[in-house]
Structure 1
Amino acid sequence: MAKNYIQPGHVVSVPAPRDITSGTLVVVGLLAGIAQHDALSGAPVEIVTEGVFTVPKTSAQAWAVGQAIYVIPGTGVCTTATTSGNVLVGAALAVASNPSATGVVRLNGAVPAAAA
């Protein structure tokens, strides 16, 4: 292994952008992940950047498998809306009906450079 290797990067520490509870989708720049513990704003929080998670979604949307999913950074709520400021976090892994409070998303780990 290269001497400059640090870690696999599936779980990383970032400063909490606001008060966070465990299980919340956290966005810091181009990184997005699920918080592994509670953290106060500015404190370090460990986030899982890849994997499949149930996340809160905009209730009045239906999701199709494979559809691009974005998060509204200030709220952690996922959406299909490409509104300015929303961050691409992954793809829907299951159908979600309209209305429904949650959806299943496969997180990508980071926003692709082309989407930034």
Structure 2
Amino acid sequence: MQDDISAAHQGQQHPVSLYLKVWGLLFLLSAMSYLVDYMHVQGIVRWTLIILFMLLKAGLILSIFMHLAWERLSLIYAILVPPLVLLVLVRIMTIEANYAFWTRAIFLGGGG
């Protein structure tokens, strides 16, 4: 029983090769993000690619380097759900702000 408790307190040991693979993947994603600018990609494709690479890198960092991949699901939800809820609320406020602006522009003549 005592051995089980002491083993649980020591934590997990992850192979160094896992971290090296993740570093390599992060380097590759960063290079691809740089190539988007280097190849002068413009418009919505540019921003979609940049945000996609950014989210992939953030997900790798969270899951491997911050050890979220080995945590309980409740802890993952406690960390990831609040920012996602904030993004939804920001989107709702943006829709409401556009509605208020265009309502004023239509009915008050000019919106300002």
Q: Which category describes the TM-score, using the shorter chain as reference length? A: under 0.3
Point out the structure with the larger strand share: 1
The structure showing larger relative contact order (alpha-carbon pairs under 8 Å, at least 6 residues apart) is 1
Question: TM-score normalized by structure 2?
Answer: 0.21
- Higher-Rg structure is 2
